[in-house]
Amino acid sequence: MIAEHKDESGDGSGWDVEPDDEVKPVVAAVGRQLRAWREVAGLSAGQLGARLGYGEGLVYKVEQGTRIPRPEFLDKADEVLEGRGRIAAMKKDLEDARYPKKVRDLAKLERDSVEVLAYGDRTLHALLQTKEYATALFAMRRPRYSAEIIEREVAARIARQEILDNEVFPVFSFVQEEVTLRRPLGGREVHRRQLQQLLRLSRLPTVDIQVMPSDCAEHPGLDGAFRVLKQRGGTTLGHVEVQSFRQLITDPTQVQYLEMRYGMIRAQALPPRESLTFIEKVLNET
């Protein structure tokens, strides 16, 4: 789960650090620096909070390293404490920390891969989604996510997509069920822009997108969405996600089954060139 709560002042500017998160030392170091700047300025936590427009409780949490401050918090602190850019510069240290741990872990697996194979049966894969599409998906979750959690999750998802611009590795193969192209999640305009995004991404040198037609009489992927990550060094991992539960699969036999299943799915799907034509057809019909 995402550790996001509003502090007692109600401003909710930031995110709580998860207990097992490896970014805790970085967040704590930023907090110590902020406290040192505040004390040099001769301000109490309450006084600094008042000048920043936040509560005293939030200032204490940031200084104690239990709260990841938003970038705008550090910008305001830099201005109030006359940091001349040095406090604002700590935003770089927290750049990755502001994304949920589960997203950072998955992004690292993707960065360490030479090839990523992904099958999607309900929604488009996260790496293929537009910001609007992703926002619509998170807004549909039940129980509902707060606006801040949605913002954080979407930002993390979009940041992960930078890996698609790599010119060599990893290489990505996506197979998407036809229904994921036709379901107008977010409304017609969001749907159209999402299809246009697929067309753009399908032309990248390291990305193949294939469509699995709904009229297939046989289908080896009925157990649901999954991905296979072939790591540098030869290790291959599997990853499945269902109903918000995620599992990394390391057992060689189980991973081999996923690889076999993906090979069958990819063989039955439309080839990349035909899939591109199919996506264009769906766009013209939308």
Tell me the backbone φ, ψ of residue 11, rounded to 5 degrees: -85, -25
Q: What is the pLDDT of residue 123?
A: 96
Give the mean pLDDT of 93-119.
89
- The domains of the chain are located at 15-91, 101-285
Q: Report d(CA 213, CA 269) in Å as an integer.
A: 7
Please name which of 128, 151, 124, 119 lies closest in space to residue 138, comparing C-alpha atoms.
151
- For residue 13, what pLDDT is reported? 62
Token representation of residue 37: 């700047």
Q: Please state the pTM of the whole predicted model.
A: 0.77
Q: What are phi and psi of 146, to 5 degrees?
A: -70, 165
Residue 92 is predicted with a pLDDT of 87
Could you give the CA distance from residue 187 to residue 134 in angstroms, rounded to a whole number?
12
Contact between 10 and 80 under an 8 Å Cβ cutoff? The reply is no
Give the pLDDT band of residue 86 (cuts 50, 70, 90): very high
pLDDT at 5: 36
CATH number given to 15-91 = 1.10.260.40
Asked if residue 164 has pLDDT above 80, the reply is: yes
Mean model confidence pLDDT for the chain: 91
Query: What is the distance between the alpha carbons of residues 44 and 50, in angstroms, rounded to a whole number?
Result: 10
Give residue 2's pLDDT band: very low, low, confident or very high (50, 70, 90): very low
Residue 96 predicted with pLDDT over 90: no
- Ramachandran area for residue 258 (φ above 0: left; ψ -120 to 50: alpha; else beta): alpha
pLDDT of residue 4: 38
Give 207's contacts (C-beta < 8 A, 6+ positions apart).
164, 172, 174, 201
pLDDT of the residue at 7: 40
Per-residue pLDDT, 6:
37
Burial degree of 216 (CB within 10 A; 0-12, 13-18, 19+):
middle
From residue 265, alpha-carbon distances to 1, 71, 119, 215 in Å are: 32, 43, 8, 14
Q: What is the pLDDT of residues 171-226, one digit of tens each?
A: 999 999 999 999 999 999 999 999 999 999 999 999 999 999 999 888 999 999 99
- 278 versus 104: the higher-pLDDT residue is 278
Give the pLDDT confidence of 7-21 residue by residue, as tens digits: 433 445 677 887 777
What pLDDT, on a 0 to 100 scale, did the predictor assign at position 133? Answer: 98
pLDDT of residue 12: 53
Q: What angle do CA 268, 274, 280 make, to 5 degrees?
A: 125
152 near 4, Cβ under 8 Å?
yes
101-285: which CATH number, 1.10.10, 1.10.3470, 3.30.870, 1.20.120?
Answer: 3.30.870
Q: What is the arithmetic mean of pLDDT over 64-88?
A: 94
Percent of the chain with pLDDT over 70: 95
What is the per-residue pLDDT for 32?
A: 95
231-267-252 Cα angle (round to 5): 35
Task: Work out the average pLDDT over 121-134.
Answer: 97
pLDDT reported for residue 286? 92
For 49, the enclosing helix (H) or strand (E) is helix 45-52
What per-residue confidence (pLDDT) applies to 242? 85
